[in-house]
Structure 1
Amino acid sequence: MEQTKALNALEPFLALSKSATSPRAAADLVTRATSAPNTFLFAELLQTPQIQALAASPEFTSYLTLLQIFSYGSYGTYNATPNLPALNDTQTLKLRQLSLLSLASDRSSLSYDALQNALGLSSVREVEDLVITAIYAGLLHATLDPARQAIQVSSIAPLRDLAPGTIPDMIGALQNWAGRCQSTLGDLEEQIKSIREAAISRETDKRASDKKLQGLMESMGEFDKGLSVYQRDNLTRRGINKRTMADPLGSAAADETMDLDDLLGVEDPAKRASKRKL
């Protein structure tokens, strides 16, 4: 939103540049554009032939340099460059605001001392006033922290032009960042693959263990069944041997009446009835 507003504010000066055929008119256009409210982007005006023609005018070439500083320079650059036009109050405030944006884009926390030195301010109060004007202008979102003598910046508006040669550097930085992202994704994929393989291995081992345990349980069941039959047969043989020892003659009637129920201690119903009569 702030960027659209700044571009719209520059439109009248782009239209006026077509009629600024003399160096003096072009220089005057630079002064008016940098002094106007809401003009924070100057790349399009800087690229117009009439403004670029100022480079061939020794008298007004400094206005081209001034517009370049407003476009992608800083207040410190202005002070370090000799023979530049003097700034009026509006230009001074705007250049300091633009310089504040550049400083805030590199750090989330700015000390009062650093801003005071970088922006040519004489007191802490001036630092706070400048930050407040930038906040109200929508240039950045920040919080003043007088106790720590610092400014906490949460976001800044995209209202600075790119300096010449910046795009290749940005492309290189983005390519390096993309390479690091690809490397990180590759490492994550390897870790995910390792985790999946470990999970499959654990599941295979678990199934093998369960199958082995099931086999052991089935074997134990067959063993218990066989043992029960063995005990039953053994008990039967023991009963027959006892009867044989008690009746050496091997009475046929006794053999016929002997069955597994007698051996197991189950009393015949007829015998139980005879006992009751007695």
Structure 2
Amino acid sequence: MEQTKALNALEPYLALTKSAAAPRAAADLVTQATSNPNTYVFAELLQAPQIQSLRQSPEYAPYLSLLELFSFGTFAAFAQQADQLPPLNAAQTLKLRQLSLLTLARDPRNLSYASLQQHLGLPDARAVEDLVISAVYAGLVEAQLDPRNQAVHVSRVSPLRDLAPNSLPGLLAALHAWSDHCASTLADLEDQVARIKAEAKRRHDEKTAWEAREAKLVEDHGKLDLVLPANQGAGSGGAGGGEGTHSRNQGRYLDSAIARLRGSQRNGKRGSGSLDAAQDSDEAMDLDEEEPDDGEIFGAGASGAARKQRASRRRL
């Protein structure tokens, strides 16, 4: 958009070159074109035959050199040969400094306040800031001022500078180097993407295998839960299907204890009646002895009566 605007501003001067047959008229046309605040590209005007004819005039040849500086030169180059070139008015001075800023912005090392003062012939930091602000408002650059660090940070430069003669080989070399760097960067990115995909596939396979193993373990555990209760029920006679080993052992102990009790009862029935009476009396005596003393219940005062009562029981 900036180039289109600059070319449209240059169109009237290109039309006037057809009538600028005299060197003086061509020189005046150069002054008018470089003083216009909207003209920033001059390659078409520089290639016009009437302008190129100024090279043949020793008096007006400096105007051709001045137009070349506006096309692809810098303010520092003008300062070095200022005594050989026509003087600049205020509009030309501002424009040449703005165009020089576009060239200097290609290298961030040139964007300190001190470097800009030196290359643009500015008296102080305030003049640097005013120039940068004017270039921003003109749409030439997108930049930010950094007074604390005394630097200018440029984020975009408008393509409004013409190519200098014999600059194409260097430009092509720079473009090839940039292309090779881009190709190398893309190759590195592709390798990284391939490694990331391989790692993701490996993790997916591990997750799938782990889920399959987990499902198999859950299935085996379910089958084991179905088999164990059936075995436990068969071992306990079906009375306690969910009982364990301790329940089966307890049942065995109870069965053996009941069998011993039944055996002792049968042996008692086979003995004589006197033996049964003696056993009954002995059991009664044992029960009496196991009963608590009345003295323990009522106190020490009743101990004598308690002893007499136990003696009478023994005699019975």
Q: TM-score over 0.5 for the alignment?
A: yes
Shift of 1:19: 2.0
Mapped partners of 1:150, 1:50: distance in 2: 43
1:106-150 alpha-carbon deviations (Å, 9 max, x no partner): 339833322221122334444344344434444334455555444
- Report the structure number with the largest CA radius of gyration: 2
Aligned alpha-carbon RMSD (Å):
3.3
Q: Match for residue 42 of structure 1?
A: 42
Determine whether 1:158 maps to 2:148: no
1:209-233 alpha-carbon deviations (Å, 9 max, x no partner): 3333333343344444333333333
1:41-73 alpha-carbon deviations (Å, 9 max, x no partner): 111101112222333334433222211111010
Which segment is superposed worse, 87-96 or 150-159? 150-159
Q: Match for residue 104 of structure 2?
A: 103
Q: Match for residue 192 of structure 1?
A: 193
Q: Match for residue 7 of structure 2?
A: 7
The alignment covers a number of residue pairs equal to 244
Letter in 2 for 1:187: D
1:217-236 to 2 correspondences below 5 Å: 217-236=218-237
Shift of 1:197: 2.3
Alignment identity in percent?
A: 55
Letter in 2 for 1:200: K
Give the match's secondary structure for 2:111.
strand
* Change in 2 beyond 3 A, CA 1:189/1:224: same
User: Any gaps of 5 or more consecutive residues in structure 1?
Assistant: 247-278
Mapped partners of 1:221, 1:128: distance in 2: 81
TM-score (norm 1): 0.72
1:61-90 alpha-carbon deviations (Å, 9 max, x no partner): 322221111101011111223622232333
User: Any gaps of 5 or more consecutive residues in structure 2?
Assistant: 239-247, 260-316
Mapped partners of 1:203, 1:211: distance in 2: 12
Letter in 1 for 2:199: A
Give the match's secondary structure for 1:18.
helix
Q: Match for residue 181 of structure 2?
A: 180
1:139-162 alpha-carbon deviations (Å, 9 max, x no partner): 334455555444444544333222
Mapped partners of 1:191, 1:143: distance in 2: 35
Letter in 1 for 2:209: A
Mapped partners of 2:144, 2:188: distance in 1: 39
* Change in 2 beyond 3 A, CA 1:213/1:88: closer
Give the match's secondary structure for 2:84.
coil
